[in-house]
Amino acid sequence: MIRNNISHKIFLSLMIPFVLSTITQPLLGTIDIAVVGKLNDVSCISGVSIGTLIFNTIYWIFGFLRVSTTAFSAQSSHYKDKKNISNIFFRPILIALLISLSIIIFQNIIFKSFIEFIQPEIEIQINSAIYFKILIWGAPFVLINYTLLGWLMGLGNIKFSMIMQISGNVLNIILDIIFVIFWELKVEGVAYATLISQIFSFFLGIYFILPYSYHKYFNLKSIINKKELVNIFCVNKDLMVRTICLILHNNLFTVASSNLGGEILAANTVLFQIMSIISYSFDGIANTASVFSGRAKGVNDNTLMKNCWNKTLFWGGIFAILMTIIYLTFKNNIIQIFTTLPDIVALAEKYSKWIVIYPAVSFIGLTLYGIFTGSTETLPIMISTIIAFIIFFIAWKYLIPIYKNDGVWLSLLIFYLGRGIFLIPQLKKTLTKKGDTIEI
């Protein structure tokens, strides 16, 4: 167990693998859009982007399954009762299974609600429906994958968490090329490639978890403990509210883009995917912070917790600079990975200035939240996100009519800036209340 100090070497030993593994997550949607972009069909690009948005929305709502499981896993390393650890492991899996079955049952209502909200053009709706009807069957695999991956991350099992994420995305790339480029299956090919990779990752995760022998202590009666299940939802209610704000924010971004026309929507989709890759690189740092803050919380070590703050902010800042330099150097090449349509490329290059600013504006909020989730102090996350969303909505309502697509991007960056500004003052709440008071 690491006590009192986290050296840069120790922090990087977890951070680098976590960044490499988490950065592959948005590649599922990114690869889909990049491959479809090669078809030179705006309706296909926009259709897949809306389909991706729907699933991102669904899965983000229940993203707490991964985040909270990481925290519980990190803290469980101090427990000696294997039966108790087994119960802690299986409860989120049970919740994931029940949620995914509900998603499948109500799939028609879910899809119609999104289409009525976004109101895309008819051809885009058709392609979105094709993508959605295939990928909806991946819901159980995706949500259970969240818990498996979260548990492995919480244990600090770098190797297995990396393999689980990266291998699924590599398979997705291969299948995308085969189904879309060679077999010309278009949107159907993109969807099937993603679905198969989700199923593959699920079975790989099961394989990695089996050596821990949690199944030997499986007891359904103990798992279905009302008090413990309620406790899980209480811990996660703040994360759910935070996620709902993120969903509304992303959907309003897409609605505004769609209202400005199919070409703007396609260009913004490309830029948004680039932004997502940057976001997920910061999420790797947040995952690292979650593991260390979870350990600090488990042993009531405030020195370790404060050390975690410092390392998280330091490496978050370094990554913000690195991402900015990389994007400025290769932005034209990066954009053309997604599409070669001249009009879409021109629009994406026109508004790419906002992606240049994004890392510096967003890194504080995107990395610090991991400290709060690891220590299961989630109320500050909810409060800061709500305040940021309110400010974003005001900007979204009044800036877009004046500045058009620049207003869309400006309002988005205001949201990410607010998430960090309003979270910093709450760091003290992650310190344990036991023992002597520590001055900050």
How much is the pLDDT for 223?
79
Tell which phi-psi region holds residue 6, choosing left (phi > 0), alpha (psi between -120 and 50) or beta: beta
φ/ψ region of 121 (left if φ > 0, alpha if ψ in -120 to 50, else beta) reads beta
For every residue of 230-284, DSSP letters joined together read: HHHHHHHHHHHHHHHHHHHHHHHHHHHHHHT-HHHHHHHHHHHHHHHHHHHHHHH
Closest CA to 25 of 328, 273, 331, 236: 273
Dihedral, CA atoms, 239, 244, 245, 251, nearest 10 degrees?
Answer: 150
- Say if residues 202 and 141 touch (Cβ distance below 8 Å): yes
What is the reported pLDDT for 160? 87
Can you give the pLDDT of all 440 residues of the chain as single tens digits?
444 578 898 899 888 888 877 776 666 666 666 777 766 677 787 788 788 878 877 887 787 777 777 777 776 666 667 787 888 788 888 889 999 999 999 999 999 998 887 778 888 889 899 999 999 999 999 999 988 988 887 787 878 888 887 888 889 889 988 998 888 888 899 899 989 999 999 999 999 999 888 888 888 877 787 777 776 776 678 888 888 898 888 889 988 998 898 889 889 988 988 898 898 889 889 988 988 888 888 778 888 899 999 999 999 999 999 999 999 999 888 888 777 788 888 999 999 999 999 999 999 999 998 999 888 788 899 999 999 999 999 999 999 999 999 999 999 999 999 999 999 999 888 887 654 333 33
Q: Residue 392: its pLDDT value, please?
A: 95
CA distance 39 to 427: 48
Please answer whether residues 140 and 97 qualify as being in contact, where contact means their C-beta atoms are separated by less than 8 angstroms: yes
Dist. CA 4–CA 386, nearest whole Å: 34
Structural contact between residues 53 and 193, judged by C-beta atoms closer than 8 angstroms: no
> Do 110 and 54 meet the contact criterion of CB atoms below 8 Å apart?
yes
Q: What is the reported pLDDT for 137?
A: 96
User: What does the angle CA 408 – CA 411 – CA 415 come to, to the nearest 5 degrees?
Assistant: 140
Q: 3-class DSSP state for residue 210? A: helix
d(CA 96, CA 279): 24
